[in-house]
């Protein structure tokens, strides 16, 4: 908010409450006394909230969990009018052909519940797409389920399988929903931590995490936040590890099309030994530049899909009907998804070029729409403090990568999202040159 507007609100009388005034003033304007008073009143308020919960006998299922880093950073970016390269979403419009198809679907009467497992045409289009891309066939009736985005698909797959005490192996840094979901279900999170610059998986160490309780491994390639990808060799090592076990796989492939430099996406679907034990999760948000639509899908062999749908039907039952119809018509033209890799590869290259005369060290980015960078040569403050300062002092919002580790491991790395207009990236780079 501009200083002038802020001042006007502050002096405009009784419509603004005292603590709101505090929020509206800049850090420099807040005196030490006010900060202490503010913190004190927050603590008193918090105490009363906890006291009320105690009186109601509510035990938090996720006591250590706060608001997601994506919401926190996007909110801070808005408050400080910073360029938002934090949360992963495009700042440009999706294809108008697609929004026209949604209007058409609404006019054509797709306004009541879709079938529980999803729009029949859309499931067929997805089955065709998978056949073309990976040369495998999934039955659209029994093996594909349309979900309210990737996150719901992940939640549902875990809820369908994980019993209290079951162990799930994840690779960190990891998308933030995995660990809390596992914990919510009474499962145990087993972590294999990856390190920059290439975040490669040490499969021998993964094997050491196996116990009789190991129920699932969550894969994510291309990976958020690191932009790393799994190779064919990784997949072969994984096959060796899981063969002869009853370990299932949840393969988060929401960035399957965002893969660069001529690399091939190594989907679990390409390997029969993995396919038969895998839930594969996809997101239309990433594929169609429409994260706000919150639509995705889950592909799994019939036996696994049966369990998935038992949960899905009581979780959301079915998802947005006109959009499913529109997406089906849109994706029926393979050109509409084949272009996406080169589109984002150009963005990645442009962003890296823009960043080349800043003091950030760019890590490799082989996939996804995230570029990680080390600020080791700039300073050694905590990545959470550094990214907060980038917003307040330099006007650019990013994500501190420690937020993707349960132990908040801090390698002094932050994540930029480059799914933005070129002009946005240019403005951000200009500001980042001052850091």
Q: How far is the CB of 88 from ligand GLN (least distance, A)?
A: 3
Q: How far is the CB of 232 from ligand PMP (least distance, A)?
A: 21
User: What's the distance, Cα to Cα, between the start and end of the chain in Å?
Assistant: 22
Instruction: Report the alpha-carbon angle 188-315-317, nearest 5.
Output: 150
203 neighbors 237 (Cβ within 8 angstroms): yes
Spatial CA neighbour of 208 closest among 220, 221, 191: 191
What is the token pair recorded at 224? 């958020």
Q: Which residue has the tokens 């002869």?
A: 244
Question: Under the rule (CB under 6 A), what is the footprint of ligand PMP?
Answer: 88, 149-151, 175, 220, 224, 252, 254, 283, 285-286, 291, 296
- Which residue lies nearer to ligand GLN by CB, 267 or 398? 398
- Secondary structure of residue 291 in the 3-state scheme: helix
Q: How far is the CB of 14 from ligand GLN (least distance, A)?
A: 36
What is the token pair recorded at 427? 């403005």
* Residue 150, binding choice from ligand PMP, ligand GLN, none, Cβ under 5 to 8 Å by partner class: ligand PMP
* Residue 149, binding choice from ligand PMP, ligand GLN, none, Cβ under 5 to 8 Å by partner class: ligand PMP
* Residue 398, binding choice from ligand PMP, ligand GLN, none, Cβ under 5 to 8 Å by partner class: none
Q: How far is the CB of 168 from ligand PMP (least distance, A)?
A: 15
Q: How far is the CB of 310 from ligand GLN (least distance, A)?
A: 25
- Secondary structure of residue 1 in the 3-state scheme: coil
* Residue 227, binding choice from ligand PMP, ligand GLN, none, Cβ under 5 to 8 Å by partner class: none
- Which residue lies nearer to ligand GLN by CB, 220 or 321? 220
* Residue 70, binding choice from ligand GLN, ligand PMP, none, Cβ under 5 to 8 Å by partner class: ligand GLN
Q: How far is the CB of 282 from ligand GLN (least distance, A)?
A: 13
- Please count the other Cβ atoms lying within 10 Å of the Cβ belonging to residue 265: 20
- Which residue lies nearer to ligand PMP by CB, 253 or 410? 253
* Residue 68, binding choice from ligand PMP, ligand GLN, none, Cβ under 5 to 8 Å by partner class: ligand GLN
- Which residue lies nearer to ligand PMP by CB, 219 or 354? 219
Q: Convert 194-249 into a string of H (helix), E (strand) and C (coil).
A: CCCCCCCCCHHHHHHCCCCCEEEEEEECCCCCCCCCCCHHHHHHHHHHHCCCCCEE
Cα 117 from Cα 361, distance rounded (Å) = 45
* Residue 220, binding choice from ligand GLN, ligand PMP, none, Cβ under 5 to 8 Å by partner class: ligand PMP
Cα 156 from Cα 34, distance rounded (Å) = 46
Q: How far is the CB of 251 from ligand GLN (least distance, A)?
A: 16
Q: How far is the CB of 68 from ligand GLN (least distance, A)?
A: 6
Question: Under the rule (CB under 6 A), what is the footprint of ligand GLN?
Answer: 68, 70, 87-88, 224
- Which residue lies nearer to ligand GLN by CB, 87 or 251? 87
* Residue 158, binding choice from ligand PMP, ligand GLN, none, Cβ under 5 to 8 Å by partner class: none
Q: How far is the CB of 226 from ligand PMP (least distance, A)?
A: 11
Q: Which residues pair with 219 in a beta bridge?
A: 251
Chain centroid to CA 285: 10
* Residue 87, binding choice from ligand GLN, ligand PMP, none, Cβ under 5 to 8 Å by partner class: ligand GLN
Give the alpha-carbon dihedral of 66, 402, 417, 331, to 10 degrees: -70
Task: Enumerate the H helices of 80-148 as residue ranges.
Answer: 96-107, 120-134
- Which residue lies nearer to ligand GLN by CB, 145 or 224? 224
The residue sitting closest to ligand GLN, measured at its beta carbon, is 88
Tell me the CA distances in angstroms from 76 to 68, 82, 111, 260, 396, one per residue in order: 13, 8, 37, 31, 10
- Which residue lies nearer to ligand GLN by CB, 237 or 396? 396
């Amino acid at each position: 908010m501009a200083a002038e507007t802020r001042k006007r609100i502050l002096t405009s009388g009784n419509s603004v409450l005292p603590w709101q005034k505090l929020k509206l003033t800049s850090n420099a304007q807040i005196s030490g006394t006010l900060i202490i008073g503010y913190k004190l009143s927050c603590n008193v308020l918090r105490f009363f909230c906890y006291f009320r919960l105690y009186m109601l006998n509510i035990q938090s299922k996720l006591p250590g969990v706060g608001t997601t880093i994506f919401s926190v950073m996007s909110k801070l970016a808005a408050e400080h009018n910073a360029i938002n390269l934090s949360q992963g979403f495009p700042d440009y419009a999706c294809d108008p052909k697609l929004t026209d198809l949604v209007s058409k679907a609404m006019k054509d009467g797709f306004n009541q519940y879709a079938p529980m497992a999803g729009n029949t045409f859309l499931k067929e289009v997805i089955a065709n797409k998978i056949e073309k891309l990976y040369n495998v066939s999934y039955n659209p009736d029994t093996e594909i389920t349309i979900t309210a985005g990737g996150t719901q698909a992940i939640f549902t797959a875990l809820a369908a399988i994980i019993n209290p005490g079951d162990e799930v192996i994840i690779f960190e840094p990891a998308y933030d929903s995995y660990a809390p979901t596992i914990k919510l279900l009474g499962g145990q999170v087993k972590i294999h931590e990856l390190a920059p610059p290439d975040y490669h998986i040490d499969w021998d160490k993964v094997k050491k995490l196996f116990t009789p309780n190991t129920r699932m491994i969550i894969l994510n390639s291309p990976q958020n936040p690191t932009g790393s990808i799994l190779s064919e060799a990784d997949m072969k090592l994984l096959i060796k590890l899981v063969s002869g076990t009853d370990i299932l796989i949840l393969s988060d492939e929401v960035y399957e099309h965002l893969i660069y430099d001529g690399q091939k996406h190594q989907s679990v679907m390409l390997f029969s030994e993995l396919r038969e034990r895998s839930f594969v999760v996809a997101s239309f948000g990433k594929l169609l530049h429409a994260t706000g639509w919150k639509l995705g899908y889950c592909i799994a062999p019939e036996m696994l899909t049966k369990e998935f749908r038992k949960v899905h039907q009581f979780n959301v039952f079915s998802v947005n009907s006109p959009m499913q119809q529109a997406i089906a018509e849109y994706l029926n033209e393979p050109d509409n998804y084949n272009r996406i890799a080169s589109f984002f590869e150009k963005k990645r290259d442009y962003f890296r070029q823009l960043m080349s005369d800043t003091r950030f060290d760019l890590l490799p980015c082989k996939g996804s729409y995230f570029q990680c960078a080390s600020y080791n040569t700039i300073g050694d403050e905590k990545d959470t403090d550094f990214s907060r300062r980038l917003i307040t002092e330099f006007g650019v919002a990013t994500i501190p990568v420690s937020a993707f580790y349960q132990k908040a491991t801090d390698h002094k790395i932050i994540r930029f999202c480059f799914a933005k207009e070129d002009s946005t990236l240019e403005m951000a780079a200009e500001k980042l040159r001052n850091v």
